[in-house]
């Protein structure tokens, strides 16, 4: 028996095109030109998947979606050519299975329909018709001669990489917020991806994506930002730290240029991952094992990583009062420890730097509730969550930047006064080590 698809759209040309493709693929297709007609046909035909346009005369797609979800749990895929991210997120929040844009990519359309048909209530996925190619690592400039230490021919047991199951989220989820540096109202739409796709950042207004890989780091000024073609993803480090802690290896992140700052910490990102649920995908990814000491030194800043049986970060910070000297040693045991010890630590900045940031066009989204503001004598706007919240936040940033190979790392990191620039420099050295081993 042919599987039945309902198309709800008032654009005749779009409907004809979709009907032709879907019938060629062996589906039975029924159509409706308005929301009212769609509800009648839905009750009569009981389609397995509904393709629903957001903008229609009379009852719009969001209102139709509410009615459909009250009738059945069958998946509804929203389509639109000019929806804002807030509209798309509202649709997903109301129970839409996914959101795709016009002009429709036929491969994307068919892939999404197949995922929806296989989803049931658990949102399981099948392999896509055409996968997005996984980015291949490339080599970077060579290490200096004094750093090039011959590898041992026989590795100790602890230097054998541990394979981990690849992971994605079980269902699409949304989150609203404001960009810290742009000040723009934005949000996140997180969507599951099949194995070997990696973490991808995209925009609802474009099909272009940028992989979460250090090769695409555009800037490390006050935040880590990625760029590939027209695809831009700014201030990614807090979300990447959560992906690191929860070992998410395959996920699509859609937003408008900048990840929302939320309350300045990573707690809301932890909550949204737990709300979505985590799916073990079977395919494996190997951790990167550090088997010799690597070092990055920039003036008084230093960052080292050396062999260890588990991934850990020790950070030394020394700022003028009221911050002072702070040290914290974090071991990545599991996501619960991360959520308790590191995720709550918020972004901070100094009153004397605000004017400079404004001249640079940065910090426009900083608010009294999402930013620890420090002057020469005191914390201006909030009570600290930890007495050493500042150093914990520095570790949060390291955890995010250290996931830009899309693989967990095993080694002990020791950092003094460092930031995103040093983190990315170290990641390039680690990536070169991987390239040398493969050769």
Give every CB contact of residue 30 below 8 A, 6+ residues apart in sequence: 4, 5, 6, 7, 41, 45, 47
Concatenate the DSSP letters of all residues of 147-186 into one string.
G-PPPPSS--GGGSPPEEEEEEESS-EEEEEEBTTT--EE
Looking at residue 52, what DSSP letter applies?
A: E
Rounded distance between C-alpha atoms, residue 272 and residue 188, angstroms: 10
What residues pair up with 177 in beta bridges, in sequence order? 186
Token duo for residue 222: 């006050």
- Which phi and psi (to 5°) does residue 195 adopt? -55, 150
- Which phi and psi (to 5°) does residue 7 adopt? -110, 125
Rounded distance between C-alpha atoms, residue 15 and residue 230, angstroms: 30
Known catalytic residue at 420: yes
Q: Which of 111, 406, 46, 389 is nearest to 248 (CA)?
A: 406
Catalytic residue among 197, 244, 393, 420: 420
Structural contact between residues 48 and 28, judged by C-beta atoms closer than 8 angstroms: no
Q: Which is it for strands 278-286 and 206-211: parallel, antiparallel or unpaired? A: unpaired
The DSSP element (H or E) to which 85 belongs, if any, is helix 85-93
Q: Which of 391, 413, 395 is nearest to 237 (CA)?
A: 395
Rounded distance between C-alpha atoms, residue 405 and residue 1, angstroms: 45
Concatenate the DSSP letters of all residues of 214-268 into one string.
GGGEEE-SSS-EEEETTEEEBS-HHHHHHHHHHT---EEEE-SSB-B-TTSSSHH
Q: Give the CA count within 13 Å in the CB-facing half-sphere of 314.
A: 9
Catalytic residues: 420
């Amino acid at each position: 028996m042919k599987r039945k698809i309902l198309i709800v759209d008032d654009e005749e040309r779009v409907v004809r095109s979709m009907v032709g493709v879907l019938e060629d693929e062996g589906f039975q297709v029924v159509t409706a030109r308005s929301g009212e007609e769609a509800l009648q046909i839905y009750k009569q035909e009981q389609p397995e998947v509904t393709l629903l346009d957001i903008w229609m005369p009379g009852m719009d797609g969001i209102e139709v979606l509410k009615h459909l979800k009250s009738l059945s749990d069958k998946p509804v895929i929203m389509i639109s050519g000019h929806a804002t991210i807030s509209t798309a997120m509202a649709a997903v929040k109301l129970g839409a299975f996914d959101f795709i844009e016009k002009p429709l990519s036929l491969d994307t359309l068919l892939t999404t329909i197949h995922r929806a048909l296989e989803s049931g209530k658990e949102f399981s996925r099948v392999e896509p018709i055409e996968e997005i190619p996984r980015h291949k690592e490339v080599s970077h400039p060579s290490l200096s001669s004094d750093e090039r230490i011959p590898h041992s021919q026989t590795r100790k047991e602890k230097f054998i990489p541990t394979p981990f199951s690849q992971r994605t989220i079980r269902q699409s989820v949304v989150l609203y917020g404001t960009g810290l540096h742009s000040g723009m109202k934005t949000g996140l739409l997180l969507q599951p991806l099949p194995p070997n796709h990696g973490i991808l950042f995209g925009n609802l207004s474009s099909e272009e994506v940028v992989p979460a890989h250090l090769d695409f780091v555009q800037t490390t000024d006050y935040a880590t930002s990625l760029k590939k073609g027209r695809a831009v993803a700014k201030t990614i480090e807090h979300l990447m730290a959560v992906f690191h802690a929860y070992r998410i290896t395959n996920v699509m992140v859609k937003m408008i240029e900048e990840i929302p700052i939320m309350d300045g910490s990573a707690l809301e990102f932890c909550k949204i991952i737990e709300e979505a649920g985590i799916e073990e995908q079977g395919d494996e990814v190997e951790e990167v094992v550090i088997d010799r000491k690597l070092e990055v030194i920039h003036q008084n800043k230093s960052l080292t990583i050396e062999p260890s049986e588990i991934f850990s970060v020790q950070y030394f910070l020394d700022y003028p009062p009221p911050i002072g000297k702070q040290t914290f040693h974090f071991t990545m045991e599991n996501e619960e420890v991360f959520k308790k010890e590191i995720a709550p630590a918020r972004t901070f900045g100094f009153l004397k730097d605000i004017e400079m940031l404004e001249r640079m066009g940065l910090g426009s989204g900083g608010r009294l509730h999402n930013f620890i503001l420090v002057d020469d004598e005191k914390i201006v706007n909030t009570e600290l969550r930890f007495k050493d919240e500042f150093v914990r936040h520095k570790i949060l940033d390291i955890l995010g930047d250290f996931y830009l190979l899309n693989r967990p790392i095993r080694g002990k990191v020791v950092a003094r006064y460092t930031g995103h620039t040093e983190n990315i420099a170290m990641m390039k050295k680690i990536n070169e080590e991987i390239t040398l081993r493969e050769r």
